[in-house]
Structure formats: C-alpha cells, structure tokens
Amino acid sequence: MRLEGKVAIVTGAGQGIGKTYARRFLDEGARVAIVDIDAGRGESAAAELADSGEVAFVQADISAEESTENCVRQVVERFGQVDVLLNNAGIYYDMDYGDQSYEYLRQVFDINCYGAWLMSKAATPHLVERGGGSIINVSSTGAYLYVKNSPTEFSGISSYAYPWSKWGVVGLTKMSAGELGRWGIRVNCIAPGVTVSEATRKQVPEDRIAAITAMSALKRTLTPEDLTGTAVFFASEDSALVTGQMLCVDAGVVMPG
C-alpha cells in the first residue's frame, strides 16, 4: 500500500495501459481519478475498477485548457486533494503514419506534448497547496530511435510526429522538474518500449514485436503490467529525492546515457 492516502489523476485511463496504471495505483491504496475524452470508455473503466478501491471518472479533452482546468477542479471537489498526476494520454493506437501534414503534426503535439503541459499547469497549484507531489509523464523509447528506412526517391522531410512529440515530453519533464522542485513537486518520465496491448496490436505486426523482443537484453516482451511498478516508484515516497529523470522500461533495447 505504497500510495495509501494519495489521490492520483491518470489521463487516458479509459482503456489499455492507462487503465492498467489506474488499477495498480488502486491496488497500492490510492484513490484514483480516471480521465478520458470518451465518456463511455471512462465510465466503463471506472465501473470495472470499482471493486479495487475508490475511483471516479472525469471526462476531459487534455488538448483544451479550459477542459483541463475543469477536470482538476472536479477531482479536487470529489476527493479533496491531488497528489499524483500521471500524464499517460496520447495519440498512439489511432496514429496515421501516412499523414505527414503540418495539420496532423500539430494535432499529435496538442495531445502528446501540450496536453501533458496543460494538465500539469492545472494540477500544480493544488500540488503546491499539498506541500508537494509527483508528476509522471509518459514518453516513448521511439523518441530515441533516430534512423528509419527511407524511400529511394526523396519526397520531402517527414513530420516525425510521434517520436518528436515524445522527445518533447522528455524536455518538458526536465524543465518542469527544474522549476517545481522548490515546492516539493517531483517530475519524472517513463519511456516504455513496444508494449503488447490492444493498441499496439493495431499498429505493430506480430513479427515486428518478435524482432524487438529478440533485440532486447532481457529477451522479454513487455506487457502493460510491466510498466506499473515504475509508475508506483515515481508516485511514492520511495522516489522522494528523484526528479527530472527519464527511465526507459523496454527490457533493454534502448539504453540512453
């Protein structure tokens, strides 16, 4: 029960890895606000997890400032406090890799990068009131894979929408940690490798997953549950003096210094 007495907001928790984070936080004693843009999905997840602890669903569009502020306000009204923000929501399962337009690039950044900033902006005044807390951002090991198979004929520069946005999350983590530390707020980042979830199976072929597993030092395929221990560490007092850090959880494929 490493999170007993804490209230955690988990964005994008209506399904997949986000819901798995929420379940583990509940198992560790936290009260959890499930945040998702899809009301049906979020309500279903909250109902599914209700037996695990005190959980509530709050609908929000994390790319809209007013929505994020209203979201955090509802959480405080419901639970009385906020101690942990896990910025998990992102465009992934519905990525359109064929769309290299500027408009789509902006859409991906609005969710994956700016959305994390907006949620952090809305939550930090309440964390300051509590005398500190933890913000956990979710990047991706894709941010560290710089070489891709290029076409033989030049057709223009790519947008790099997903990995670029996830690299931005790492920068946001470090800048936020440097600013917020004096108020006792720790900001850290998880960079998961390819994790076998329903969303991943829509995007990554089985043979590609097998190849990534073969490349890993531990020769293991990641599941959503494999990521939750790192999130609990960052959310708990076990990481009381850890901030501004990015931790890859990928069985040893990417090992940045």
> Of 21, 92, 114, 162, which residue is the catalytic one?
162
3-state SS assignment for residue 27: helix
Q: Is residue 92 part of a domain?
A: yes
92 counts as catalytic: no
Type of residue numbered 15: Q
CATH of the domain at 188: 3.40.50.720
Phi, psi dihedrals of residue 256, rounded to the nearest 5°:
-65, 145
β partners of residue 247: 190
* 3-state secondary structure (DSSP) of residue 224: coil
CA separation for the pair 48, 57 (Å, rounded): 11
Is 41 inside a domain boundary?
yes
Instruction: Look at residue 213 and tell me if it is in a domain.
Output: no
Residue 254: pLDDT band by 50, 70, 90 thresholds? very high
Output the pLDDT for position 98. 83
Q: Specify if 211 maps to a domain.
A: no
Structural domain harbouring 26: 7-194+225-249
Residue 88's closest CA among 22, 175, 40, 142?
22
pLDDT digits 0-9 by tens, 206-241: 888 888 899 999 999 999 999 999 999 999 999 999
Cβ(91)–Cβ(41) under 8 Å? no
Domain count for the chain, please give it.
Answer: 1
Within a domain: 205:
no
Average pLDDT over the chain reads 94
Q: Is pLDDT at 95 greater than 90 in this prediction?
A: no
Least confident window among 55-69, 154-168, 234-248: 154-168
**To 10 degrees, what angle do helices 114-129 and 102-112 make?**
20
pTM as predicted? 0.95
Nearest to 63 by CA among 22, 122, 20: 122
